Amino acid sequence: MNWRPGRHIPYRRLPDRRSMGVAVAGFANFLNLYTPQAILPDIARDFGVGVVQAGLTITAPLLAVACVAPFAGTISDRLGRKKLMVGAAFLLVLPTLLVAAAPGLGAIVLWRFVQGLLLPFIFTVCVAYIGDECPGSAGIRAAGAYSVGTILGGFSGRMLAGLAAEAAGWRMGFVAVAALSLAAERRFVTIPGGLHAALGTYREHLRTRRLIATCGIGFATLFTNVAAYTYVNFYLAAPPFSLSPSQLGLVFVGYLLGVPTTSAATRLALRIGRRRTLAVAVGLASLGLLLTLAPDVLLVIVGLAVMSGGVFVIQAMSLGFIAATTKRAKSTAVGLYVTVYYIGGALGGLLPGGLWTHAGWTGVVALLVAMMVAIGVTGLRSWREPA
């Protein structure tokens, strides 16, 4: 990612290597984040633990991200964005390999937590870059490109882990993801005064209602995505579906529907605005969730694909809205969003466990549809298009 100092450049004129750099950053971030989802039943069976305990392998990195995200932007302002992003991407390989060699579930959770400590230096810094360098409609397009990268990364990590697990066990799934991770600065405005001044910007952000509302939308978005793709694996691994790890990995092909829907939504938002586009996305995601209740594996997969399409549109709209409405200290604004976003993801891996135990997949779906309704109401009431 060759981000050199200079003036603002319209997104449509950015060289391909820069737009690709944004997408690659998203790919690297999500490649590692959700790797265990396709192999959670195997991990639970191997260590003799329940659904919630196995889900800690998803929750741990999300909690770590939430802890570090508030400071990632400030650190990047001091040390340089490109240096931190590239360094974090390379360092991710080590804890990924240590997960593969872990002797027990506790060690897996520990090394997954370490992965999460590194991820904010990719996500937060990249989104802040979009906000600084791609104003107005260019920000919508850049956020869309980043979202496409996250979709491809999330899909690749899950599918690769599932296929490798089928061939050589779940540990080989992490080795394969580490290998892909290994294969796989521009101008910014610093905040004078160091950490104290940076923390002061959080007080300003917490008084910005539109930003807080967008953080709430981010919370519900990742909560829904993590909960759906965590508990659906146990649903599909059990009778009457009884899918294998490789089959569960291929279920995530539906994740790729987020690529065309995000691209289409980017164009739609430029025509009708973010709020109307958000309403369409919420309806799409809710419909997909309801489709997964059908007692047919093909309809479940189609439902997950439709849900993914809606969820990733919501994510792209949220990122673009933050970039467009935050006038200063964009890095800390993104850090606040990322913190709340990943807290939502962490809770999405844990809180639906009770519903799963008592009401099964139907209970989980009911909760997630309620989350979608909350997103729609919040966005329609709080989002206003900037001039």
Q: Which of 39, 165, 175, 157 is nearest to 97 (CA)?
A: 175
Which of the following CATH numbers is that of domain 13-382: 1.20.1250.20, 3.40.50.2300, 1.10.8.350, 3.40.50.300?
1.20.1250.20
Question: Which residue from 289, 286, 306 is spatially nearest to 362, judged by alpha carbons?
Answer: 289
pTM, full prediction: 0.72
Phi, psi of 141 (to 5 degrees): -65, -40
Strand, helix or coil for residue 296? coil
What does the DSSP 8-state code read for residue 239?
Answer: T
* pLDDT of 114: 94
Q: Is 292 helix (H, G, I), strand (E, B) or coil?
A: coil
The CA distance from 221 to 217, in Å, is: 6
Place of tokens 């329609």: 380
Single-letter code of the amino acid located at 171 = R
Best CA proximity match to 228, nearest among 343, 82, 355, 63: 355
- pLDDT, residue 78, reads 65
DSSP code per residue over 112-142: HHHHHHHTHHHHHHHHHHHHHHS-THHHHHH
Query: Whose structure tokens read 């606040």?
Result: 336
Q: Say what the pLDDT of residue 299 is.
A: 94
Residue 13: what pLDDT? 43
What number of CA atoms fall less than 13 Å from residue 264's CA on the CB side?
9
pLDDT at 204: 66
Percent helix, strand, coil in the chain, to 5, is: 85, 0, 15
Side-chain-side CA neighbours of residue 248 (13 Å): 32
Query: Nearest CA to 272 among 232, 313, 328?
Result: 313
Would you state the pLDDT for residue 324? 66
Alpha helices in 48-136 (DSSP H): 51-79, 81-91, 93-100, 105-118, 120-133
**Domain-wise residue ranges, the chain:** 13-382
What are the tokens at 136?
Answer: 């107005």
Angle at the Cα of 56 from the Cα atoms of 347 and 169, rounded to 5 degrees: 140
- Across the 387 residues of the chain, what is the mean pLDDT of every consecutive 10-residue run? 40 49 74 81 87 87 84 67 74 89 92 90 70 60 72 80 82 84 51 48 69 90 92 90 84 75 74 85 95 93 91 83 67 76 88 90 96 94 68
Torsion, Cα of 370, 374, 375, 376 (10° steps)? 100
CB atoms within 10 A of CB 385: 11
| DSSP 8-state secondary structure symbol assigned to residue 294 | S
- Overall size of the chain counted in residues: 387
Q: Any idea which residue has 């540990």 for tokens? A: 171
Q: From the DSSP assignment, how many helices (H) and strands (E) are in the chain?
A: 17, 0
What's the CA gap between 334 and 326, in Å, rounded?
A: 9
Q: Cβ(122)–Cβ(29) under 8 Å?
A: yes
